[in-house]
Chain A
Amino acid sequence: MPPLTDLPNGAKGRVASVSGEPLLRERLVELGFTPGALVEVRGRALLGDPIEVKLRGGLLAVRRDEAVCVGIDVAAAAA
């Protein structure tokens, strides 16, 4: 599954996996990056980092360093 960082602006997908250090991983899932959750990449800041995503009705800015921990299933977005 490609990481969230690979999604172009405007693309949608569903969270497939969350990896990384326990502390980071736990916070990511608590903020809503749980397997199956719908994610939409809304844009990128200056120099392409961080990434702005729409998740569970709210907007979140996530750095590339953290966003690579989120694996995305692009094909499942339509479902």
Chain B
Amino acid sequence: MAAMILLGTTIPRRPRRVALAGNPNVGKSSLYNALTGLRQRVTNYPGTTVEKVVGRMSAAGGVIDVVDLPGSYSLLARSPDEAVARDEILGRMHGEPAPDVIVIVLDAANLERNLFFATQILDTGRPCVVALNQADLAFDRGVRIDVAELSRRLGVAVVPTNGRTGQGRDALAAEILAGGKKAAPLGLDLPAPLTESAAALAPHLAARFGGEDRARAALPSILGSEAASAELAAELSKGAENAEAWTRFCAERARLAGAGIDVAAAAANARYAAIDRIAAAAVTSVEGARDWGARLDRVLLHRVWGSAALLATFTFLFLVVFSFSSPLIDLVDGAVGDFGAWAGGLFGEGLAAEFVQNGLVAGFGAFLVFAPQIALLFVCIEALEDSGYLARAAYLLDRLMGKVGLPGRAFLPLLSGFACAIPGMMATRTMSNARDRLVTMAVMPLMSCSARLPVYAVVVGAVFSNSVWTGTVVVISMYLLGILVAVLASSVLRRTVLKGGRTPLLLELPPYRVPGVRTVARNTGRRTWAFISGAGPTILVFTMILWALSTFPREGAATAGDEATTHAAHLENSYMGRAGKLLEPALKPLGFDWKIGVGILGSFAARETFVPTLGVIYAVGSDAEAEDAGLLDSIRNDKWPDGRPVFTPLTGISLLVFYVLALQCMSTLVTLRRETGSWRWPVGLFFALLVAAYAASFLTFQVGSALGF
């Protein structure tokens, strides 16, 4: 090693670290994917649920680590995402070095608004490079940008890039490795009192902002924001060495408040005026270019055609998650089952084999089976998002969803919830507001997912088989019940735990574009892997615990009888069977006996297990299906000790109501924990819905009995 250093050959150098910053919807994600290789690290920023995505880029002159920051509109952060972007840009992220270079991504087709955030970043004096992205799209819309002039005006290098083709990658890498440039602060024409305040404070805050000129540039917008100036005042009030700065800062705030000018508007106006000057010099518009986006919008945002397109899109999406994914799910399910049987076979007969097959391998299957749905849903969502349509769908549906206190963005995740709550919860990641996202995730389990269908089928088959219509009406009522309770729950949450009005909607409708295959594929892969690696291990452990509870203690096996009867005896004597019997007095007012109790207990792993569990209990076999005549007969003929039938139509309805409301799915709970960052939400929601389910079933059965059903 020493010899190597002496020879002066290759002293391993730390890779350059760059951050990609820009507005949302500027094609930042495609550019990130074009720059970096397949290997990437996805974590959460400490103490937040904001995703941190880091990828590595190998270029001719060295290696570069690229951090893809959340899209932001301003350095004055107004959401956890924007706070993360701000802290990274300013190098204030705890336990991390500041990025060596900030790559500011500009959407060439929407330059003016993009330059607002961009010039804020340039004003900080951090080394920057500008990536002028999607210039081809802007060109089609008749926008001609003089890159050299833009670079001269901004004071940093401007590299035209294209995330789709990878164009500009090498030039951008070269600029990054050259270290970027620090731009001079943009001169702003501010009202006199504001200029004076900034000038008076700058000497005292030079250290905080990295120079007097930087302080002068940053202060007007901070003084214009109540939150940002309160934050800075609080920061200054802490250290004794800032006492002077703090006093003066408070004095200037008071003076400005009395000066009768709208500081926020003045600061923003001055910045846009400066941007207009830059645009006037560097951008020309060609008249007569065909604006395809506007033409498309005339159809897709039309009241009639737009609604039809929306309906068609969502019907297709629903089919993808609900139907198209089922062959894949069956494939995974079958493969896991076969593998389990094979692996169990290696251990011969007995407990070890059962553990491998029904505990360990089944535990892997319990989360792997969701992967196809998640992947398929995200292929669609990412493609729609990248095309610019998802923002428009959110716009069209905003009012409708507003009636239940949710933004338009919540529609697609909730719709996915009818197939499976897990991809639905993951789809809420497209929602920027944390509170809206929490409400959406909290009501997600009330959407009747596909795992409830076998339960519905077995109940309808057992007690409503006399008429197709009764069964259909019953099942549809269950879907509606879930929606109704979701609407109620959402408004209750809005008034209690997640209090506060609706968050303002200021949604940008990005230009249309053809979705990038690479971006869609990589983002889908990232989401799917995040679920498998994040939620998988916990689900595996829970599955094994539930297996143990339904297996031990192993008694009642010695009696003679066929295999199915032995299994039934095993389950009856297991901890779970005993718990079912113990709970029978509590379940009786709902119309359930201990056998249904065991089915419900087993369902807390996953609702899918209800029918197989009943199969075991009724000694029909664990491979029983909902349409199994033997199983249905056993259920119909089951009697209470006094001879009354257990499974009356009323018991059936009561059971269905329970399954609609109860959150019996540990994968959902584990996903909710992952998405919210703590066990508080999943545990709270679990018990709230359990109480609701119990109460609703109790009422159903008691009122129904009283009415003579």
Contact = CB atoms under 8 A, between A and B. Distances in A.
A62 B408 CA distance: 12
B222 to A, nearest CB: 11
A49 B272 contact: no
Interface string A54-67: 01111111110110
B666 to A, nearest CB: 38
A46 B264 contact: no
Contacts of A31: 73, 113, 506
B505 A66 contact: yes
A32 B113 contact: yes
B189 interface: no
A52 B293 CA distance: 14
A29 B267 CA distance: 9
Given A32-B112, A34-B265, A58-B110, A23 B400 contact: no
B113 A56 contact: yes
B225 interface: yes
A3 interface: no
The main secondary structure of chain B at its interface with chain A is: helix
Contacts, number: 122
B398 A32 contact: no
A15 B146 CA distance: 29
A60 B504 contact: no
Given A30-B76, A30-B116, A63-B398, A46 B303 contact: yes
Contact of B504 (A35, A47, A65): A65
Contacts of B264: 22, 25-26, 29
A9 to B, nearest CB: 11
B502 A61 contact: no
A74 interface: no
A66 B433 CA distance: 16
B398 A61 contact: yes
A59 to B, nearest CB: 4
Interface string B120-146: 000000000000000000000000000
Given A27-B506, A57-B112, A58-B112, 8 more contacts: A22-B227, A26-B264, A31-B506, A32-B116, A45-B395, A57-B110, A58-B110, A59-B510
23 contacts: A22-B225, A22-B227, A22-B264, A24-B504, A25-B264, A26-B76, A30-B74, A30-B76, A46-B303, A46-B307, A48-B399, A49-B398, A49-B402, A52-B509, A56-B112, A56-B272, A57-B113, A58-B112, A59-B508, A61-B398, A61-B507, A65-B502, A65-B504
Interface of B: 73-74, 76, 78, 110-113, 116, 224-227, 262, 264-265, 268-269, 272, 297, 301, 303, 306-307, 391, 394-400, 402, 502, 504-510
